[in-house]
Chain A
Amino acid sequence: GENVEQHPSTLSVQEGDSAVIKCTYSDSASNYFPWYKQELGKGPQLIIDIRSNVGEKKDQRIAVTLNKTAKHFSLHITETQPEDSAVYFCAAIQTGANNLFFGTGTRLTVIP
């Protein structure tokens, strides 16, 4: 089955700096990679996703890159703000399958 690894587990950055979270996956059949943001006491919120036919996707301050050959994908947050502080989860899934395989999460702290 699929195995998703996520690094780092914790990340602290100064407000305004960039944050990068990296994930690797094992199953080459996985072709959809969402990223979720989870604030304390709340459910995960989808913030961006990417499919395997695309190498990069951007939405304002958030971008995701995918390297299919190396089986890794990354989340990039630029100009970080205190409200970006949360736990971020990457995930991988194959089209047609039900199971989302989650990474272990990254706790991001943006220091004002």
Chain B
Amino acid sequence: GAVVSQHPSRVICKSGTSVKIECRSLDFQATTMFWYRQFPKQSLMLMATSNEGSKATYEQGVEKDKFLINHASLTLSTLTVTSAHPEDSSFYICSASRAQETQYFGPGTRLLVL
């Protein structure tokens, strides 16, 4: 149990376009979903936390208008990178948790902005 999927696994887009990444908890209802960003050979950096049906809470320094998060149901959260630029290229990972603090991570999405 506790499987989290992400789609797409990798995406290449042109500068200025928007990209949507989906995160799904496949076999459990996630009360909270998280979005992380990871640069090469570094640890995970929390971008935002979202609870189903409410607005996401963004970490300091993360632009909420650039990284739009929607958590429409207990099994789906989406991250939209708006007007993407090359510096947004990164590995984006979501995680989901049930009532307790254990987070289960998705496989990640590699974004390359040309």
Q: Tell whether, in the assembled complex, residue A46 and residue B104 are in contact, meaning their CB atoms are under 8 Å apart.
A: yes
Q: Is the interface of A mostly helix, strand, loop or mixed?
A: loop
* B65 interfacial by beta-carbon distance below 8 Å: no
* B67 interfacial by beta-carbon distance below 8 Å: no
Question: Which residues of B41-77 have CB atoms within 8 Å of chain A's CB atoms?
Answer: 42-44, 46, 49, 57
Query: Closest CB-CB distance, A98 to chain B, in whole Å?
Result: 5
* B93 interfacial by beta-carbon distance below 8 Å: yes
User: With A98-B32, A98-B34, A98-B49 in contact, is A45–B105 under 8 Å at CB?
Assistant: yes
- Identify A43's interface contact among B42, B101, B102, B107, CB under 8 A: B107
Question: Which residues of A68-112 have CB atoms within 8 Å of chain B's CB atoms?
Answer: 89, 93-100, 102-105
Q: Tell whether, in the assembled complex, residue B43 and residue A43 are in contact, meaning their CB atoms are under 8 Å apart.
A: no
Interchain Cβ contacts under 8 Å between A and B, 19 examples: A32-B102, A36-B105, A41-B108, A42-B107, A43-B93, A43-B95, A43-B105, A43-B106, A44-B105, A93-B101, A96-B101, A97-B101, A100-B46, A100-B103, A102-B43, A102-B44, A104-B42, A105-B42, A105-B43
Query: Closest CB-CB distance, A103 to chain B, in whole Å?
Result: 7
* B110 interfacial by beta-carbon distance below 8 Å: yes
Q: Which A residues are CB-close (under 8 A) to B105?
A: 36, 43-46
Shortest 7 CB-CB contacts between residues of A and residues of B: A43-B105, A43-B108, A44-B105, A43-B107, A102-B43, A98-B49, A93-B101
